[in-house]
Amino acid sequence: MQSLWMLVASALFAVLGACVKLAAARYHIAEIVLYRGLTGVVALAAYAHFTRRPLGTPIPWTHFRRGAVGTAALSLWFFAASTLPLGTATALNYTSSLFLAAFILGAALRARRPMNVPLMLTIALGFVGVLLVLRPSAGGGQSLGAAAGLLSGLLSATAYWYVRDLARQGEPEWRIVFYFSLSVLALGVGGSMIIGFTAHTPAGAALLAAVGVTALLAQLAMTRAYALGHALLTASLQYSAIVFSATLGVIIFADRIALAGWIGMAIIIGSGALATWLAQRRLRPKIEKPISADIQ
């Protein structure tokens, strides 16, 4: 039952995407990124202070690399969510599991290990789904957002490897998230200083607060699901975020997604879950957790 925390996390990530889309009508992406990072930094610094846990780390450069790649992925997903139908943007971000599986397959080929044919076919099927999702988004001024969403998935997959390295070197999850939030805050501050700050309104400030709070709660729920739930069930349930996001997009923003887009989302969900299971089965002696699409 603890795996059901992933449904809570997925619903919160969908709400986060909706809040980002609403906030993007009032603020530029750098400002939204800034407040997303600020909430995490303040909350986790307070946690470290009151529990007397050290914020210092012996491996700052690994955190820096993870933060740089993860922050880029987060910013690109925020941009995609602001320009595309919410379900489409989320589906493209969740291609990270397919990219991760492709990395694993490429590593096996370089090491001259036997070809994992089921995994290869699953990856190919998943990218057929990506093409179906991209097809209705290729026109109407959405091509830039579609490219950003797909790139966010690729960078999220890359950031996962850094997260795995950090965990292997003994870094606790809360400190990994703290330094990631610090990177997000730094990029947001830098971008906002260049572009400029927007005057706040009560509604705008509430949206920015909602972005930070929902992101933090979603990460906590996701962490609990992976810590206490069945690993593969939890990993499969993460794809419910695509369904939640598409539903919110239709209800709140009257998103119109072509039939090809819906079919593509279904293929991404199915192939992503299957690729996660196949990759986990192959790597079970080497890693403790399954591939997680979310590193944000």
Q: Read out DSSP for 183-237? A: HHHHHHHHHHHHH-PPPP-HHHHHHHHHHHHHHHHHHHHHHHHHHHS-HHHHHHH
Average pLDDT value for the chain: 85
Q: Which residues contact 147 (CB under 8 A, 6 or more apart)?
A: none
Could you tell me if 293 and 94 are in contact, meaning their C-beta atoms sit under 8 angstroms apart? yes
Predicted confidence (pLDDT) per residue in 166-181, tens digit: 888 888 888 988 999 9
Which of 16-25, 217-226, 265-274 has the highest mean predicted lDDT (pLDDT)? 16-25
Residues 279 and 266: their CA atoms lie apart, in Å, by 20
Burial readout 172-195 (b: 16 or more C-beta within 10 A, e: otherwise): eebbbbbbbbbbbbbbbbebbeee
Q: Which of 82, 72, 95 is nearest to 141 (CA)?
A: 82
- CB atoms near residue 52 (< 10 Å): 6
Terminal-to-terminal C-alpha distance of the chain: 24
DSSP assignment letter at 41: H
Predicted confidence (pLDDT) per residue in 36-73, tens digit: 999 999 999 999 999 999 999 999 999 999 999 999 99
Reported as a pLDDT band with limits 50, 70 and 90, residue 137 is: low
pLDDT > 90: what percent of the chain?
Answer: 47
Place of tokens 């729920």: 221
Residues 255 and 264: their CA atoms lie apart, in Å, by 16
The pLDDT, as a whole number, for residue 139 is: 55
Instruction: Read off the pLDDT of each residue in 76-103 and give the average, rounded to a whole number.
Output: 88
Reported as a pLDDT band with limits 50, 70 and 90, residue 288 is: very low
Domain boundaries, the chain: 2-283
Q: Which of 222, 71, 218, 56 is nearest to 152 (CA)?
A: 71
Could you tell me if 48 and 55 are in contact, meaning their C-beta atoms sit under 8 angstroms apart? yes
DSSP assignment letter at 258: -
The pLDDT, as a whole number, for residue 37 is: 94
Q: Which residues contact 162 (CB under 8 A, 6 or more apart)?
A: 62, 65, 66, 69, 70
Q: Which residues contact 153 (CB under 8 A, 6 or more apart)?
A: 73, 92, 93, 94, 95, 96, 98, 99, 293
Which region among 94-98, 192-196, 234-238 has the lowest average model confidence (pLDDT)?
Answer: 234-238
